[in-house]
Amino acid sequence: MKTTHIWLSILEGCLLAALGLHILNSAGLLISGTAGVSFLLLQFVDLTFGQLFFLLNIPFYILAWQSLGWRFTLRTFLSVSLLSAISELLRLYVHIDMNPILSATFGGMLVGFGLIILFRHNASLGGLNILAVYLERKFNIHASKTTLVADLMVIAGAFSVLDGRGLAFSFLAFLVLSSIIGRYHKPVERVVNTIPQEV
């Protein structure tokens, strides 16, 4: 696989994930992992989602560098930077008013497929995605299981900022995301020949 194809795929994955997150954010809904934590913390800090998402990911690069290699770390850093930048552009120029059921469904699907593209090209969106890839490679724990646990933790934190309706729709988004990753993501052992070696 050529380097340009790798980075084009990573860009596409970031675009899908950023759009999904923007849909969810516009509806006041949460998603799992570092993105979900970012949404929760937005209630207490004077930062945008893109800024906070970028900052929260910084500590996880140490784990990635030490355990998953510099290629994965570099691609993840650039993916997080891309998603943060795209999120800022969407916040400024794209306004979405969608039924919350559709927001949860489409948002969860877009984030899920964006993550799959990144996973298949030896990248992630940082944070708990790094942990998911690490646990999958080291202990053969499927990434969908880690994301589901992260979902439940974010939901627990969401009780302080969302009403019952928001929690229910957020949980729908979590289920859609986890289902997409569980059905379509192939662990690294099965796709070892497709993981790019170039940067």
Tell me the C-alpha distance between 151 and 154, whole Å.
5
> What confidence score (pLDDT) does residue 146 get?
80
Instruction: Tell me the C-alpha to C-alpha distance, in Å, between residue 147 and each of 33, 47, 164.
Output: 7, 25, 22
Q: Measure CA 41 to chain center.
A: 16
Percentage of the chain modeled with pLDDT above 90? 33
pLDDT tens readout for residues 49-80: 888 988 988 888 888 888 888 888 999 899 99
In the predicted structure, residue 197 carries a pLDDT above the cut 60: no
CA distances, 39 to each of 35, 74, 186 (Å): 6, 25, 28
For the cut 60, the answer to whether the pLDDT of residue 196 exceeds it is no
Over 60: is that where the pLDDT of 87 sits? Answer: yes
Residue type, 48: T
With a cut of 70, say whether residue 199 has pLDDT above it.
no
For the chain, the structural domain boundaries read 3-190
Q: What is the mean pLDDT of residues 152-161?
A: 80
- Low-confidence winner among 96-100, 107-111, 190-194 (lowest mean pLDDT): 190-194
Residue 47 has pLDDT above 60, yes or no: yes
pLDDT at position 190 is 40
- pLDDT over threshold 90, residue 19: yes
Residue 191 has pLDDT above 50, yes or no: no
Quote the pTM value: 0.81
Q: Which residue has the tokens 């992630």?
A: 124
Residue 1: its pLDDT value, please?
52
What pLDDT is attached to residue 187? 66
What value does the mean pLDDT of the chain take?
A: 84
